[in-house]
Amino acid sequence: MGLDSRDYLHNDFDDRRVTRPMSVVTRIIIVTVIVFLFQVITEGGARGAAGDGFIERWLVLHSDGLFQGHVWKLLTYAFLHDTRDVLHLVLNMFILYMMGRVTVPLVGEREFVWFYCASAIFAGICSVLFYRFLKIDPGVIGASGAVLAVFTLFALHYPRQRLYLFGVLPVEARWLLAAYVVFDSLPVISALSRGQLGVSGTAHSAHVGGILFAWLYFRQNMRFTRWWDRFAGRAEASFRARKTRLKVFNPKSDPEPDLSERVDEILAKISREGEASLTPRERRILRQASEQMKNRR
C-alpha cells in the first residue's frame, strides 16, 4: 500500500477540482473564432463570394465608412479574417496565444485587454491614413496589427529570448522583430514613394502601426488601466462634490414666513397654558426667530 492510498493522509480538498479562470488571451481567441464562424455562415454560397456576408459588411474597416461615422469598425475589423484562407486565422491566433500568455503577467489581464484593443485601433488608423493617401479604399480585416503589437511588447521585454522558427531554427526575439519591421516597412515606403499600392494583399500598414504602437507603449510606460482608474476616481469625486453642494429643500429646517406674528401667538400661548404646552414645531419657530434676531444684531 502506497502512502497516497492511505485515507488519513487525504484532506478535504483532494476530491475537489481546482479550476483556474479562463485567461483573457483564450477569451479573445474564442471571440475571434466565433466571429470567423459567423463570417462563414453569413457569406453567400457561391465561390468567390467571400466578403459579402452581413457580419463582414458591418465589421470590416473602410476609410469611407469610417468618415461616415462607422467608428466601431476601427476595432471590429481585428476580429475578422479571410474566410478563403483559414491559415490567416490560425497563424494570428497561434502567435497571440504563444506571446500573449507571456505578456499578460507583465501588464495584467485588464491592461492587456486595453493594450490589445488600443493597438488594433491604432493599427486601423494607420491603415486608413495610408490608403487615404493612396486614394484607394480596400477593406481591412485581420488581427495581425494587434497580434504584432503583442509580439513587439514581448520582444521589447525579452529581446534575447530565443524563439524557434518552425520548431527548429533558434532566433532571438529582437532579431525576429527587426525582420518584421523591415519586411513590413519596405512595402509601405515603396507604396508611399510611388503613390501606388503593390500587388501584395497584406495590410503592411496595419502591421507597422501595431509595431509602432507597442514601441510607444513600452517607451512611454503607458498604462491604460491607471489612466482609467484616475479618470473614474476624479469623476466620482466630482460627482460627490456636486452632490454635497446641492441644497435639498427640507420644510423642517427652512425658516417659517411671518415669524413675528407666529412668535406673538406662541408667547401668548405660553402666558396662558405654560411652556410645556408648546408643540415641537412651535419650539422650532422660537429658535429660528431667536437666530434671526441674533443675525440682525
Per-residue pLDDT, 167? 76
Per-residue pLDDT, 13? 43
**Beta carbons of 31 and 20 less than 8 angstroms apart:** no
Residue 276 pLDDT grade (very low, low, confident, very high; cuts 50, 70, 90): low
* Other beta carbons within 10 Å of 106: 12
Measured between alpha carbons, how far is 145 from 156 in angstroms, rounded to an integer? 16
Residues 6+ apart with CB under 8 A from 175: none
Angle at which helices 86-107 and 109-133 cross, to 10°: 130
Comparing 101-110, 144-153, 264-273, 279-288, the range with the smallest average pLDDT is: 264-273
Comparing 12-21, 49-58, 89-98, 190-199, the range with the smallest average pLDDT is: 12-21
Comparing 243 with 42, the larger pLDDT belongs to 42
In the DSSP assignment, the letter for residue 164 is E
Residue 166 pLDDT grade (very low, low, confident, very high; cuts 50, 70, 90): confident
Measured between alpha carbons, how far is 144 from 252 in angstroms, rounded to an integer? 66
Q: What digits encode the pLDDT tens for the residues 215-274?
A: 999 999 999 988 888 887 776 666 666 665 555 445 444 444 556 777 888 887 777 666
Three-state DSSP at 258 gives coil
Residue 90 pLDDT grade (very low, low, confident, very high; cuts 50, 70, 90): very high
Please give the sequence-ordered ranges of beta strands (E in DSSP) within the chain, or none if there are none: 162-165, 169-172
Comparing 107 with 252, the larger pLDDT belongs to 107
Comparing 20-29, 158-167, 197-206, 231-240, the range with the smallest average pLDDT is: 231-240
pTM: 0.71
With a cut of 80, say whether residue 31 has pLDDT above it: yes
Three-state DSSP at 213 gives helix
Mean pLDDT, residues 28-39: 96
Q: How far is CA 164 from the centre of its chain?
A: 32
**Beta carbons of 154 and 102 less than 8 angstroms apart:** yes
* Other beta carbons within 10 Å of 185: 16
Using CA atoms of 12, 17, 18, 19 in order, give the dihedral in degrees to the nearest 10: -160
Cβ burial of 208 (10 Å; 0-12, 13-18, 19+) is buried
Using CA atoms of 144, 149, 150, 151 in order, give the dihedral in degrees to the nearest 10: 80
**Beta carbons of 198 and 187 less than 8 angstroms apart:** yes
Q: What digits encode the pLDDT tens for the residues 168-212?
A: 889 999 999 999 999 999 999 998 888 888 767 788 999 999 999
With a cut of 60, say whether residue 129 has pLDDT above it: yes
Mean pLDDT, residues 156-167: 89
**Beta carbons of 131 and 62 less than 8 angstroms apart:** no
Tell me what the pLDDT averaged over the chain comes to: 82
Per-residue pLDDT, 270? 77
Residues 6+ apart with CB under 8 A from 47: none
Residue 29 pLDDT grade (very low, low, confident, very high; cuts 50, 70, 90): very high
Per-residue pLDDT, 238? 63
Residue 65 pLDDT grade (very low, low, confident, very high; cuts 50, 70, 90): confident
Per-residue pLDDT, 240? 66
